[in-house]
Amino acid sequence: MVEYRDGSTLAQLGPSDMRVPIASCLAWPRRMDTPCAPLDLPALGQLTFEATDEDRFPATRLAREAAHAGGAAPAVLNAANEVAVARFLAGQLPFTRIAAVVAETLSRYSPAAPHALDAILAIDAEARAKATEMLETA
């Protein structure tokens, strides 16, 4: 869902199958066929929304704060998250520590806002290095 400054909210709904967003990215700005069945709203019955428990799910708060901060914060968040998730998948980091690694990386590294792709790539590389260094010295 995307909330606009005029107060309206738009939602994109689809089946819970990662092939849909992957196809969207691959075909952008067009759409391509997938083997996925369309979302059957009558079969779904209803949509229920609840406030996010940011104590239980701290990554949600980190992502919101990074998006609000703008500049390089979203790139730093993404890079640190990818490093932490890779460590988790390798059995080297508990799942519950992923958000802590991201938060610590964000607090230690806040470069200037990038204005070109090469700057974003440099920020990504540096954030990955800082997250990795932090994990290795912990």
Residue 104: closest CA among 75, 130, 74, 126: 130
Domain CATH for 125: 1.10.1740.10
Structural domain includes residue 14: yes
Burial class (CB in 10 A: 0-12, 13-18, 19+), 82: middle
Q: Are residues 83 and 127 in the same domain?
A: yes
Give the per-residue pLDDT at 1.
87
At 72-114, the pLDDT tens digits run: 999 999 999 999 999 999 999 999 999 999 999 999 999 999 9
- Describe the chain by its helix, strand, coil percentages, rounded to 5: 55, 5, 40
108, part of any domain: yes
Whether residues 127 and 99 fall in one domain: yes
Kindly provide the residue ranges of all beta strands, DSSP E only, lying in the chain, ordered along the sequence: 2-3, 9-10
Does the residue 85 lie in any domain? yes
pLDDT for residue 16: 87
- Residues 118 and 84 placed together within one structural domain of the fold: yes
Phi and psi dihedrals of 88, rounded to 5? -60, -50
Range of the domain at 104: 58-137
Count of the separate structural domains present in the chain: 2
